[in-house]
Homo-oligomer: A and B are copies of this chain.
Amino acid sequence: MNSIFEYSLSSPEALEVFSDSGLVDAMLRFEASLARAQASVGLIPQSAALSIVGTCRVELFDVPKIVREGSRVGNIAIPLVKTLKENVGLFNKDATGFVDFGCTSQDVMETAMALITRKAITLIEDDIDISVAALLLLAARHAADPVLTRTLMQPVSVTSFGLKCTGWAAPLVRGRKRLQSSADNALVVQLGGTVGTLAQMQGKRQQIMELMAADLNLRSSSSAWSTPSDEWMALGCELALLIASLGKIATDIALMGQFEVGELLEPHETAATDGSDFGHKRNPADCMVALTAANIAPQRVAALLAAMPHEHERAFGNWRDERTEWPKLVTMAHGSIRAMAQVLTRLQVDTQRMRANRDALRPELTPQATQEWFSLALSREAATLTHSQISLLGNAMSLLNIAAKAE
């Protein structure tokens, strides 16, 4: 499949996280962590654990071969575990039987997906922080600069551009908070779970899982069965909400950046040339990345939700659904926030055009509206509101970052 368009809607970092070798690496981290934990509770010999941990290095594996075989049987864990056993056996024959001990394919797969998703979420949170900081800076700078409000794409009254910026920032702050909480709920160590396999764990499953959770920076799960897909999907919904909030900002910037409006300009360095050699083109190329993502993300979420009512203990079909759409949704979320972080940190604001666009309305206004739109009181009120919002949102962000670090 060509990768041209994947690139443009994602980010190199996020694509790396979700690459084939990124996934295999995460699966090996699961196997190493499992062996360590099982050895530390005395379920498998220390020597076996040492051999396994030492072999769990992605550069020792032929990733494309594993992918090929995995896609034939619809399950990449099978060839990976098989190869891991072979590799371990080269150094320590006795350790082979302790590889992937008491686990199912699903344990490896689900935990690996949690590990790489956690990595991507961190990338996303970092770029939210950058974007919010940029918006609050813009808000402070333009707290009293008048700009038209518009409904149905027609001017309706006046506010300040600073207040507009805090209005853009607020859903990002709220979304950051909800994202953190839903990631904590969803990203758990998956271990054993099914009746029967638990026998091999000899009652030490909970203990092993907690060791692994600490080791892998995931949560341990209290439930005895497979990964709670509702928590995963709740996380997916949060990603889509974030993408939609970014799409809203991108829409406004693209509209305010039209040649005829001219109030904002996406920083020139990032503009795509689009094949034209006209000097006048100021394409809002990064905004367009966010807009495209906002157009597609609702469908990704719908596909994930539609896969939830799967048959019985696990359905091949639905299992695949989720896996196909998940990386696309997560990497697209990072592509979108990365693009907007670039736009917002270097956004060019033309306060003169904002004023001029307001002034052009004067002949159309009733005397009452004229008085209100051009009053100093309005500017002052807007500035006061803007600063109170900056303070509220700034505090919320600080709390979120302190909470994250405390973990």
List residues of A whose CB falls within 8 A of some B CB. Answer: 1-10, 15, 18-20, 22-23, 67-68, 70-71, 73-78, 104-105, 149-160, 163, 167, 170-171, 174-175, 178, 185, 194-196, 198-199, 222-225, 228-231, 233-234, 237-238, 240-241, 244-245, 247-248, 250-252, 254-255, 257-261, 272-285, 288-289, 291-292, 294-318, 320-321, 323-325, 327-328, 331, 357, 360-361, 364-366, 369, 372, 377-378, 381-382, 385, 388-389, 392
Determine whether the beta carbon of A316 is less than 8 Å from that of B152: yes
Given A195-B378, A252-B311, A274-B75, A365-B2 contact (CB < 8 Å): no
Q: Which residues of B contact A285 (CB under 8 A)?
A: 74, 152, 316
Q: What residues on B are CB-neighbors of A6 within 8 Å?
A: 1, 324
| A295 proximity list for chain B (CB < 8 A) | 303, 306-307, 317-318, 321
Closest residue to A249 on the B side, CB-wise? B309
Do A195 and B314 form a contact, CB below 8 Å, given A18-B2, A237-B234, A245-B308? no
Closest residue of B by beta carbon distance from A70: B4
**What are 12 pairs between A and B in contact, CB < 8 Å?**
A1-B18, A5-B323, A73-B274, A150-B313, A167-B225, A195-B381, A223-B389, A237-B238, A244-B305, A280-B361, A280-B365, A295-B321
Give min CB distance, A229 to chain B, whole Å. 8
Residues in B whose Cβ lies below 8 Å from that of A317 = 152, 288-289, 291-292, 295
Cβ A199 vs Cβ B381 within 8 A: yes
Q: Are B257 and A151 in contact (CB under 8 A)?
A: no
Q: Determine whether the beta carbon of A153 is less than 8 Å from that of B309.
A: no
CB distance from A29 to the nearest CB of B (A): 16
Max chain B Cβ within 10 angstroms of own Cβ: one of A228, A276, A277, A278:
A278
Q: Is the CB of A276 within 8 A of B156?
A: yes
Report B-chain residues with C-beta under 8 Å of the C-beta of A225.
163, 167, 170
CA distance A238 to B301 in the complex (A): 12
Contacting A311 at CB < 8 Å: which of B150, B224, B299? B150
* Cα-based distance from A327 to B7 in the complex (angstroms): 14
Which chain B residue has the least Cβ–Cβ distance from A20?
A: B2
With both beta carbons as reference points, the residue of chain B lying nearest to A314 in the complex is identified as B151
CB of B76 within 8 A of CB of A4, answer: yes
**Cα–Cα, bound, A73→B8 (Å):** 9
B67 touches A178 (CB 8 A): no
Chain B residues in 8 Å Cβ range of A78? 273, 275
Query: A248, B310: Cβ atoms under 8 Å?
Result: yes
Query: Which B residues lie within 8 Å of A298 (CB)?
Result: 301-306
With known contacts A241-B230, A275-B78, A281–B154 Cβ distance under 8 A: yes
Are the C-beta atoms of B159 and A194 separated by less than 8 Å?
Answer: yes
CB of A20 within 8 A of CB of B5, answer no
- Which residues on the B side are within 8 Å of A297 (C-beta)? 305
